[in-house]
Amino acid sequence: MPAMPQSPAAIDRLAVVMSDLARAFHLSGGQGVPNWLAQDLTLAQVRTLFLIAHEAPLPMGRIAEILGVSVASASGIVDRLERHGLVMRRHRTDDRRIVDCVLTEAGRGLIDEMSGQRIEMARRALDVLSPDELQEFHRLVCLIADRSAEGAR
C-alpha cells in the first residue's frame, strides 16, 4: 500500500510522536540519554569519527594532516576510539606500512544516530500509518514512556 500524503498538521504530529518515542525507548533502556551522549567522547574523537565515516579507509597520516595534529596525536585519538569499539585499524595489503582506519559496525551506528539518520528511518516507517493509527500509536508510546519513568524512580 503506498504511503498517504501527509498534511502539515500530520507531519507536525509525527514529529511529536517521534520525540515521545525517543523518550519512551531511552527511559525503558534505563539510560535516559542517547547512546552517543553516553560514549563520553571528546570533540577531537567525534570529529575523527565523522572524518573516517566520510572518507574511509583513511590512513593515519592523512587523519593527522586533516586534523592538524601530529601522527602520534592522531594515533592516540584513534587508540581511544578503538577502545570504545568504534574504529578499527587494518594494514593495507599492497603496503603493510600503511595503516588505514575504518569504522566498526558500532561506529557506523553511532554516526547514524548522531546524524539523525535513524530518526529519519523511523519517520519513514511511521509514515505508512493513517492519522488515526498514528494517534493510537502515539498514545501507546506515551503509555510506555510514562510507565517506564515510574519504574525508573
Confidence class of residue 115 from pLDDT cuts 50, 70 and 90? Answer: confident
Residue that is written with C-alpha cell 553516553 in the block: 38
What's the mean pLDDT when you consider all of the chain?
A: 80
Give the per-residue pLDDT at 28: 40
Give the C-alpha separation, 84 to 107, whole Å. 9
Which grid cell is 129?
500509518
Class of domain 8-144 as given by CATH = mainly alpha
19, pLDDT greater than 80: no
User: What's the whole-number mean pLDDT along residues 122-130?
Assistant: 81
User: What's the whole-number mean pLDDT along residues 122-148?
Assistant: 85
Q: Using a cut of 0.75, tell me whether the model's pTM lies above it.
A: no
51-102 tens-digit pLDDT: 999 988 999 999 999 999 999 999 999 999 999 999 999 998 898 888 899 9
Domain segments of the chain: what residues?
8-144
Which grid cell is 110?
553511532
What is the distance, to the nearest Å, from the Cα of residue 151 to the centroid of all Cα atoms in its chain? 26
pLDDT > 70 fraction of the chain, expressed in percent and rounded: 76
Query: DSSP states of 70-135 as a string?
Result: -HHHHHHHHHHHHHTTSEEEEE-SS-TT-EEEEE-HHHHHHHHHHHTHHHHHHHHHHTTS-HHHHH
Confidence class of residue 5 from pLDDT cuts 50, 70 and 90? Answer: low
Give the per-residue pLDDT at 37: 56
User: What's the whole-number mean pLDDT along residues 11-29?
Assistant: 63
Give the per-residue pLDDT at 2: 45
Give pairs for 148-152: CB < 8 Å, separation 24+.
148/24, 148/27, 148/28, 149/27, 152/27, 152/30, 152/32
